[in-house]
């Protein structure tokens, strides 16, 4: 296994050397929970955007395994260089691109508005103490990116982060009935999902989609259904 560090002991991402497109960490797998809310056969026609490249795990999985239109927005050119050199990030194509930019600024570009089906937010600096972007204006901008069926997933982690405060801001932007959350992983990561359009799929629908997700892409989606619930239930 290979890990990405930004000059500290904090791991920014990981890769199996013999399976470079696999999702190593449990929280990274949970960032794909938006798959439960769309028909599996529609996935390859959709667009994914990652705010924060990390070790390229989500970007590679969406582009190579799910075959989606995929864009990562990354501030640090050294992270992009590391992903290309050490983490098998593919060369850019019309369906896979990395934009070197400040995510807070880039998502205000109208060209992205209403185009994103899966927005994956994992923004941490080298100290990994709290999310870099975690304000109500930021989450308002995130919601504006989404298609009607779109979802945002956010990794909340860090000694200076506050799950309650972050969820309050997301709820203000998306509506309280749009917020779903996982239980924390053993490592302390909590993944929160926000829907552009709130829905409450029946459990049998979620389980059927989970079975298909496990079969098609090898993700532990039936476990997601057990440890994942709306904040207003």
Three-state SS letters, the chain: CEEEECCCCCEEEEEECCECCCCCCHHHHHCCHHHHHCCHHHHHHCEEEEECCCCCHHHHHHHHHCCCEEEEEECCHHHHHHHHHHCCCCCCECCEEEEECCHHHHCCCHHHCCCEEEEEECCCCCCCCCCCCCCHHHHHHHHHHEEEEEEEEEEECCCCCCHHHHHHHHHHHHCHHHEEEECCCCCCCEEEEEECCCCCCCHHHHHHHHHHHHHHHCCCHHHHHHCEEECCC
- Give mean pLDDT, residues 124-143: 75
What is the model's pTM? 0.93
For the ranges 21-35, 115-129, 191-205, the lowest mean pLDDT is seen at 115-129
Averaged pLDDT of the chain: 91
Residue 52 clears pLDDT 80, i.e. is over it: yes
Residue 155 clears pLDDT 60, i.e. is over it: yes
pLDDT digit string (tens) for 2-23? 888 766 666 677 889 999 999 9
- Give mean pLDDT, residues 72-96: 94
- Give mean pLDDT, residues 12-41: 93
Task: Give me the pLDDT at residue 133, please.
Answer: 79
Q: How confident is the model at residue 126 (pLDDT cuts 50, 70, 90)?
A: very low
For the ranges 41-50, 61-70, 154-163, 208-217, the lowest mean pLDDT is seen at 154-163
Residue 227 clears pLDDT 60, i.e. is over it: yes
Residue 166 clears pLDDT 60, i.e. is over it: yes
Task: Give me the pLDDT at residue 185, please.
Answer: 87
């Amino acid at each position: 296994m290979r890990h990405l560090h930004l000059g500290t002991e904090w791991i920014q991402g990981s890769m199996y050397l013999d399976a470079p497109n696999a999702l190593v960490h449990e929280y990274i797998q949970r960032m794909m929970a938006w798959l439960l809310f769309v028909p599996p056969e529609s996935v390859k026609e959709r667009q994914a955007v990652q705010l924060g490249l990390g070790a390229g795990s989500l970007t590679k999985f969406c582009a190579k395994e799910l075959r989606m239109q995929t864009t990562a927005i990354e501030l640090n050119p050294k992270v992009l260089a590391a992903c290309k050199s050490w983490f098998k990030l593919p060369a850019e194509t019309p369906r896979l691109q990395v934009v070197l930019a400040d995510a807070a600024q880039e998502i205000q570009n109208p060209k992205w508005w209403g185009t994103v089906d899966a927005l994956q937010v994992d923004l941490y600096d080298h100290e990994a103490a709290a999310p870099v972007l975690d304000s109500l204006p930021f989450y308002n901008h995130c919601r504006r990116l989404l298609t009607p069926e779109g979802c945002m997933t956010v990794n909340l982690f860090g000694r200076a982060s506050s799950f309650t405060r972050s969820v309050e801001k997301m709820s203000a932007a998306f509506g309280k009935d749009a917020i779903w959350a996982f239980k924390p992983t053993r490592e302390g990561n909590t993944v929160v999902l926000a829907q552009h359009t709130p829905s409450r799929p029946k459990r049998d629908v979620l389980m059927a989609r989970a079975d298909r997700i496990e079969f098609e892409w090898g993700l532990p989606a039936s476990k997601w259904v057990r440890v994942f619930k709306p904040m207003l239930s």
